[in-house]
Amino acid sequence: VADLDPASAIELLESIVIPTVALDPTGRVRWSNAAAERLLAWPRDLLVGQPLEAVLPARFRAKSGAPLYAYLLSHTRHSPERSFRMSYLRRDGVEIEVDCNVSLVAQKSLALSLMRRPDSFGDAPLDTSGTVESEQRYRLVFDHAPLALWHFDARGVITACNDQFVRVIGSNKRALIGLNQLTLQDSFVVDCVKGALAGKRMHFEGDYRSATGGKVTPVRADFAFIRAEDGTITGGVGILEDITERKQAEDALRETNAILQAVFEASPLPIVSVSPEAKVRLWNRAAEQVFGYRAAELLGKKIPNIPPERSEEFFARFARVLAGQVLLNLETYYLHKDGSVVDVSLSSAPLSLREGEVAGTITVLADITERKRAQAERTALLEKERAARQAAEEAQLRLELLAQASAAIASSLDYDDTLQRAARMAMPRFAQRTAVFLLDEGKLRLVAAHPDPLPRKEAAQTIAPGVVSSGQPFVGELSLCVPLVVLGRTLGALWLGRNETEPTFTSADVRLAEEIGHRAGVAIDNARLFRRTEQALRARDEFLSIASHELRTPVTSLRLSVQNLEAMAAEGSLATAPPALVARGLATVVRQTQHLGRLIEELLDVSRIQAGRFELALSDGVDLGHLARATAVRLERELALAGCPVRVDAEPTSGRWDSARLDQVVTNLLTNAMKFGAGRPIDIIVRTSAGAASLAVSDHGIGIEPDAVERIFDRFERGVSAQHYGGLGLGLYIARQIVEAHHGTIAVHSQLGQGATFTVTLPRDTLGKGGA
Amino acid sequence: VSASESGESRAVSQSACVLVVDDDADIRDSIGDILELRGYQVARAANGREALDRLRHGPLPCLILLDLMMPVLNGWEFRAQQASDQALASVPVVIISGDGSTDQKAASIGVSEYLRKPLELSAILDVVRRHCGSRNRR
């Protein structure tokens, strides 16, 4: 201020909108500006020269003269910046409250700036200077409005503007007042001012480039015209708003939106938003690709691709999300437009556009169809691998079992024991219960059972006979029975049982069991063959031993008799020896020669029978009764020596038979009865009927052991030890062969210690040609 | 025929009787005739039972010629009873058998001598002489 010339300083002071009053050191008003004049409602010419107390309420007047001045001065010293409150009396006597700032100017002058307190704004109107008051108020509004305001006259010349306008335009008031806007560069200003002056309301939004400094400010401007009472347009007002911040916010928002839109569209994951009514609101490109529906065909429509069977579940879940629940990585599936299933993992959250208001849901989905498929494939593969491993392990187990069982089966010829061991090997891994049955002479015998006794014995025993008779395996879930077979013959059955907790039998199990059954069958057959061979060998060896004994016996007496006669002849004593002794020696020679002949004949018979060259010489009219009697007579001496008298009760009966062979039969039976007759009588009974004849030879000797009855007709067999009873053991064998060649039968009935009866029955007309 | 004297046989043969045990009558008779013709006494038995009866009820023989395979009581059984009878155990036994393994069987019943059938006249006379000494011909 000090640098200005007094006129400029006065003008500056005048232009200050704040009511300002200057006091001289005596406390009188020395100067006031226009604003103060309006505020205090005192004309300046009246106010200047007056003590300040004149406009103060009575309570301030106490501090008249220096004291008031000193008080004000103290404020400049203590807190020049702080305003203090005071009141003054308007010219109409109304007390107005103001905030007052005091500053020390020069030569102890004080400058008081007075700001009317807003709360005292609505008090009683100024009765005499209302216009001033109203004007003042307008001014206040004008000055303090946050908008840039200005007035221009009909030529477009700015006549008034507020500080905000000055700030926005970036200039100063002096430069602006009196500026003709129509001369400005800014075309929008020119256009708008012209428009307003033409009676139009004008609006502009855009950048304003200030003439000074080239500062660009985004603005919004409105222009209105002012009409005089006569209707002519006297000027206009403009309102200018700096919208930099709003613009920035809008730009930021737009940018954010663009980013979000880009993200939304570029998202590789389907993003879908639906309204609370389940209508599609957002449907991005990925969703289009994954589900096959275009956003354009879906927006505003209900979600179309919920699988019907999942509908209820979907809406329950949707309701939960609307209620505020957030779902994370939930796996489910939707449908593709082409109807195929799309497996998804979804995360869903409620969508809230305004506080407290749910506008739907937003859902991000991941297409996991491939993953699911891969997973399923992997699972299937793993399962396959696991199954394969298990199968391999089971196969290994079966192989081991088969190897062990085979080894056990082959280890011994005692097959009962062998089968027991083999069966036990199946336990407990392959089966928990086993049973082995063997067919012995038509009867099924339980050889081994584990555990013993078998808990399900009945089942095993009903199943096994079925398997043995059919030769086919029985396969139940927990019960398996296979035949023991060799060369198509069933020798028995192997039964296996599993506990309820074990897996059921598979076809591989059945094959394994059948293989074991087959191997066991072979082993049993081998063992039986071996046993039979051994028996045959034993019988043959025994026969050879017996045969040599039987042959040596007659040769011994024959040789001794001959050597004795020879020695006597050599000594010359033959002539002098007792004739009876010589005769007995010769008789022995004859008898033993015949005996030897018979033995040789027997052996030859066996040989013929074996070779199938045993033939009958049949002739009609052979009398069996006569034949029996003649044989008894022929063997009289031997029977007597054995102490066995023979009683013959024979009907004459004739048939077409081989007489010599039947003689052999009767001889053999009689010799047999004599040998085992224990020196008791022997009965021969011959009977006849229409078609057959029968011959029974009974002794009362030692009888036959029941278990020997079956085999006494076999070759080389005998009912008792050869150490007691000599003979080749061929008599009964040959007798049976002869009888059977006649199509007859031979049977024995015996009680041990009571003797035995051999009965031969012959058809009287032997039909066949004979031969064994 | 030369007689070979042995102290052992003299000591046991007092009766100069030979017991022939065989179930075959012709063998019993052949051996009996041969020995009787040469001055020996001969007792005959058709089986082990008869032989034991003769031993217990007649004079002790100087030798037993024993067949093995016989009815009623066979050679093995006879031998077992003879050996367990103090009075009879000392009588020497010679097995006569047609069996192929006579030697083993003889050994198994504690008999060291055997003759295999068919028998030789000379072998019988030899064994009888050794046990019973020579006899004058009848």
Does the pLDDT of residue A669 top 90, yes or no? Answer: yes
- The share of chain B scoring above pLDDT 70, in percent, equals 84
Choose among B27, B69, B101: nearest Cβ to A557. B27
Choose among A549, A558, A585: nearest Cβ to B69. A549
CA gap A329, A341 in Å, rounded = 18
Choose among A548, A567, A568: nearest Cβ to B98. A548
Please report the number of interchain residue pairs, chain A to chain B, with beta-carbon separation below 8 angstroms.
96
Cα–Cα distances in angstroms (integers) from residue B39 to residues A239, A313, B128, B135, in the given order: 186, 132, 11, 5
CA gap A617, A624 in Å, rounded = 15
| Res B7: pLDDT | 37
Give this prediction's pTM.
0.45
Encode pLDDT of B114-128 as tens digits: 888 888 889 999 999
| Res A722: pLDDT | 59
Q: A530-538 contacts: CB < 8 A, separation 24 or more?
A: A530/A413, A531/A413
- Quick check: A557 and B97 CB within 8 A? no
Choose among B72, B119, B121: nearest Cβ to A567. B121
Encode pLDDT of A515-565 as tens digits: 888 888 888 888 888 888 888 888 788 778 777 777 888 888 888 889 988
Tokens at residue A525, please?
């057959």
Strand, coil or helix: what is A383?
A: helix
ipTM of the complex in this document: 0.81
Confidence of residue B4 (pLDDT cuts 50, 70, 90): very low
Question: pLDDT: is A125 or A55 the higher one?
Answer: A55
| Res A64: pLDDT | 46
Q: What is the mean pLDDT of residues B17-21?
A: 94
Residues of chain A in contact with residue B25, where contact means CB-CB under 8 angstroms, are 641
| Res A289: pLDDT | 92
Question: pLDDT: is A18 or A653 the higher one?
Answer: A653
CA gap A504, A509 in Å, rounded = 9
Strand, coil or helix: what is A162?
A: coil
CB A3 within 8 A of CB A101: no
Check whether the bond before A681 is cis (ω within 30° of 0).
Answer: no
| Res A125: pLDDT | 44
Residues of chain B in contact with residue A552, where contact means CB-CB under 8 angstroms, are 98, 116-118
Residues of chain B in contact with residue A702, where contact means CB-CB under 8 angstroms, are none
CB of A548 within 8 Å of a chain B CB? The answer is: yes
Task: For residue A511, give every residue at least 6 positions away whose Cβ sits within 8 Å of its Cβ, in sequence order, or none.
Answer: none
Question: B residues 83-112 near A, CB within 8 Å?
Answer: 96-101
Residues of chain A in contact with residue B68, where contact means CB-CB under 8 angstroms, are 723
| Res A30: pLDDT | 83
Measured in residues, chain B has a length of 138
Sheet containing A443-450: order of strands: A443-450, A433-440, A489-497, A479-486, A474-475
Confidence of residue A160 (pLDDT cuts 50, 70, 90): confident
Encode pLDDT of A322-378 as tens digits: 998 999 999 999 999 999 999 999 999 998 877 778 889 999 999 898 888 898 899
- Quick check: A556 and B68 CB within 8 A? no
Strand, coil or helix: what is A352?
A: strand
Choose among A551, A641, A724: nearest Cβ to B71. A724
Handedness of CA A299, A300, A301, A305 (dihedral sign): positive
- Best residue in B1, B27, B96 for a mutation probing chain A (most A CBs within 10 Å): B27
| Amino acid residing at A332 | T
CA distance B86 to chain A (A): 26
Residues of chain B in contact with residue A564, where contact means CB-CB under 8 angstroms, are 30, 33-34, 37, 121
Confidence of residue A292 (pLDDT cuts 50, 70, 90): very high
Confidence of residue A126 (pLDDT cuts 50, 70, 90): very low
| Res A132: pLDDT | 59
Q: What is the mean pLDDT of residues A160-173?
A: 82
CB of B123 within 8 Å of a chain A CB? The answer is: no
**CA dihedral of residues A40, A46, A49, A54 (deg, nearest 10):** -50
Residues of chain B in contact with residue A549, where contact means CB-CB under 8 angstroms, are 69, 97-99, 117
Residues of chain A in contact with residue B30, where contact means CB-CB under 8 angstroms, are 556-557, 560-561, 564, 585, 588
